[in-house]
Structure 1
Amino acid sequence: MSRVLLIEDDHAVRTGLELALTRQGHAVDAAESGERGLELLRATPPDVVVLDLMLPGMDGFEICRRIRAGGDLPIIMLTARDDDIDVVAGLEAGADDYVVKPVRPRVLEARIRAVLRRSAAGPGNAAAPPVERHRDLTIDRAALVVVRHGEPVGLAPTELRLLLELSATPGRVLSRQQLLELVWDHDYLGDSRLVDACVQRLRAKIEDDSSAPVYIQTVRGFGYRFGPL
């Protein structure tokens, strides 16, 4: 049984999702505010956080940043609008995925199971060498450890999965849709913003200059590839 921390200020939405997720076999801790959510997180660490962006007081963006700064806990955000501003800002704050309101419980359940699979999954490509060295970057697929300049790099599960998939075949271009299927388990026409935001976060952690990336290279009009070639 997985434990879900649900942070949602709307009483009706919170109660409905709590009931639905409980029926689906999850243990749910529900909070009406970001501050209360952080208290519950410290008291009983969850397996995944479902976080509304529009919260009173401390908003969902700040909560997301605080959770991400403290570790690699999977985060799914709830947003009232499927627009670039809210979605991209939430993804850049560290969310792994998002669901647009009104939330369909089955969709949310599928996203929860997907992020939990990614969090628990091993290396993305068993055929790749267990330990790879690329200039100042070392990727240990067996231990799921990434080292840069001799120092461990803290990556969220989705960021790690993205790096493992890209680095498994250096020089090969993977489209955004391929990466959605490989990394996010989205087997439908998904949202490329998930990929782009995760690439930005990953570059910020492994590149010397994220504006001139060496490892995660953009192939305009196609997708991304892992370098250096």
Structure 2
Amino acid sequence: MTTGVDEDALGDSWTREPGDLVKGFLGSAFVHREGTVFAYDNAAAFVLARMVEAVTGEDFADFTDARLLHPMGIRDAEWDRVASGRVFGFHGLHLTTEAVAAIGELLRLDGLWAGERLLPAGWVDRATRAHVDSRHYVSGEPGPDFHSGYGYQTWVGREGFHANGAFGQHLLVIPERALVVALTCGQTEVRHAQDALTAVWECLLPGVE
């Protein structure tokens, strides 16, 4: 999310090149030095998925299922795909609430699942620390859990770290409290993304002790 664009490039990229989102993205206006300014950008996540495929020689979903989800017993994941057959990379992974919680537990345990190491030791710490200042999806919207920094596709929160999916899907991990919270909501507007997290801080955490 620090490629140098000033805002989400997805719409313009698709308009520019409807059949080749990577090419469309590369035609974006990169107005900041890469790695310095945060802008939540779905097109960048699509390109990242294509980079994983180029390095591994595998379909992104097949790679992720075999290396991560299937070893965790998650075999009912569904992946949305663009017209070319590629997975979106930035949305469209359908999981049960229990599967989302399991991924949170994997991250809480530094990539260990049932004694098997699925992620390199120390990677979770690097991925979930703030590498850049961040801002809410929607310009001007308040939200302390979206203004605390951003890691590798992961938001840093007031405590721990969190990930967010479309329409109010949330995964919150607070390793210091040995806590994982998975929420599957019916949120209709992305500007309300903070509301569910605020409920966790105000209603759930006071009773955790």
Give the structure-2-normalised TM-score: 0.36
Give the structure-1-normalised TM-score: 0.34
More strand by share: 1
